[in-house]
Chain A
């Protein structure tokens, strides 16, 4: 039985396979120039993000003040904290590495922009994490940040003193948005390939 071409699922499937070839998305070979430490920090950032999400899921189940009253909670919170430290350290090294090799070459502009947007989204997500520590540090940051956001004219929409809003942003909206952006970034990297060093030629 032939598949009707008017089917939107068939059209979506064909377009998806055409745009995102399986051998590009899940490759079994990489160019020789990838054997450099500077090419390691993208996947290191992803590894830290996985640890962030896993530890964050546990913290979400137990609530934001769990880590104050439980040694296990304190441990999981510390895993979350140091994962985010490593996440940003690896991401900044990745950013610098890609900036100095002009990683937007070879039709990779969308890859570069999606990475930059992921960086900005990460900063906002981390900021809301600071706000829900439920200690004097988070209170200090919230009260100081309130003045800053008020001066930008967005204090009515994003109230740093509203802990409930910060929790929902941090555990629901922002991780979903960041996950989608990072997923798109990785797909673009796979689709266009890893950027070659500048001395390998600009046309690749």
Chain B
């Protein structure tokens, strides 16, 4: 299976009625949502013992 990115043409688009988004953009937006959710929920490592 060829996994290389083909930049020599327009992207594949996902469409839902009047809405349309390229697959690449959809993936990036999902990553951003995931990263934001993790940033506000995952505890930050602390090192109080050394203070």
Contact = CB atoms under 8 A, between A and B. Distances in A.
Contacts of A96: 36
B30 to A, nearest CB: 11
B39 A37 contact: yes
A40 B45 CA distance: 12
Nearest to A130: B7
B16 interface: no
A140 B6 CA distance: 13
Interface residues of A, number: 18
B24 to A, nearest CB: 9
A133 interface: yes
Contact of A97 (B8, B28, B40, B46): B40
B31 interface: yes
Contact of B7 (A40, A88, A135): A135
A38 B37 CA distance: 9
Contacts of B7: 133, 135-137
A140 B8 CA distance: 9
Nearest to B10: A140
A189 interface: no
Interface in A89-130: 89, 92-93, 96-97
A92 B48 CA distance: 31
Contacts of B42: 37
Given A35-B46, A36-B44, A92-B32, A41 B39 contact: yes
Contacts of A41: 39
Interface of A: 35-38, 40-41, 85, 88-89, 92-93, 96-97, 133, 135-137, 140
Interface of B: 7-10, 28, 31-32, 35-36, 38-40, 42, 44, 46
